[in-house]
Amino acid sequence: MLVDEILEYVNAKYPEMGAAARAYCEIALALAESIAARKFQRSEYTEHAPCYSGIVVVTNTPLHEVISVINFDGTQYTVVTYTPDGIVFIAEKPRKDWVVITYVGGYDSLPKDLLYAIGELAYFVFKYEPNIESIRSGDFNISIAEFPQPIKETILRYRGDL
């Protein structure tokens, strides 16, 4: 689980966080996913996506498997190939269409720069207790006004919406 990776980093670098570290890691991960407009955990996802000339781009990369690509009228499209960075090529070439794509995407293990950024964000929230307006992780919405710029820039490199 990604939170465990972040927790390992935080416990090694900031032992003063103690028993509260897991909760701060969960908050930091939820915040990072909110900022990046995507989920990081490897899982099965279904999303509505535009299809241009047989090309569909998914949000939660890296892309591991495409399960189905279906037009809203129920037409099943044939997947020719796909790339880990989320580009799916289908045999049919609709000029412009919206599809429902189901796929497996996300990380088994966070990239190191993203792991460090989220760990540092957990410590930032712990130490400085910024103004958290609202929290949304599933049912919570997180936004922090005093967001550290280097951490934000690292997370934005993994932004899911193109």
pLDDT by 10-residue block (mean), the chain, 162 residues: 97 96 94 90 95 92 96 90 96 82 97 97 85 50 68 90 55
Instruction: Note the pTM of the prediction, 2 decimals.
Output: 0.84
Are 66 and 84 within one domain? Answer: yes
What confidence score (pLDDT) does residue 139 get? 44
Question: Does residue 162 sit within a domain?
Answer: no
Mark whether 101 and 50 lie in a shared domain.
yes
Q: Residue written as tokens 């490897």?
A: 42
CB 69 within 8 A of CB 76: yes
Residue 89, in any domain of the structure? yes
pLDDT at 140: 44
| pLDDT at residue 142, as a whole number | 52
Q: How far is 131 from 120, CA to CA, in rounded Å?
A: 17
Residue indicated by tokens 């992780």: 137
Q: Residue 46 has which token pair?
A: 């279904």
Domain boundary among 87, 105, 123: 105
Considering the domain architecture, whether residues 36 and 113 belong to the same structural domain is answered as: yes
Radius of gyration (C-alpha) of the chain in whole angstroms: 18
Domain range enclosing 83:
43-105
**Same domain for 98 and 61:** yes
Q: How far apart are CA 29 and CA 20, in angstroms?
A: 15
Please name the amino acid found at residue 148.
P
Any domain includes 161? no
Contact 66/89 with Cβ under 8 angstroms? no
